[in-house]
Amino acid sequence: MPTYLFYPHRADGVSLTFIAEAAKSDKEALILASEIAAAHDCSGVFIWEPATEQRYDRFVGEVRRQDDLAPHRTEQSGASLET
């Protein structure tokens, strides 16, 4: 299973930590990110797949909490899931 990096972030987009977890797919990583967002009571979670020897880091997507009304939006492409 690939390892993903989850970055819980505040409403202003700042992330003070990250969590490394394995997931079977990008879809499962997005679901796990929503659980991390709830557990950390944060605005959302950015999800990255770390680089391997063959390629660079890959932005997988972002999960944002539905109750978060902050205007921050990421400029990178990727999947998004509202929780």
Residues 15-57: pLDDT tens digits? 999 999 999 999 999 999 999 999 998 999 999 999 888 789 9
Domain boundaries, the chain: 3-82
State how far the Cα of 11 lies from the Cα of 26, in Å rounded to an integer: 23
The model's pTM is: 0.76
- Amino acid 5: pLDDT: 97
State how far the Cα of 37 lies from the Cα of 10, in Å rounded to an integer: 10
Tokens 């880091």 correspond to: 57
| Helix, strand, coil content of the chain in percent (nearest 5) | 20, 35, 45
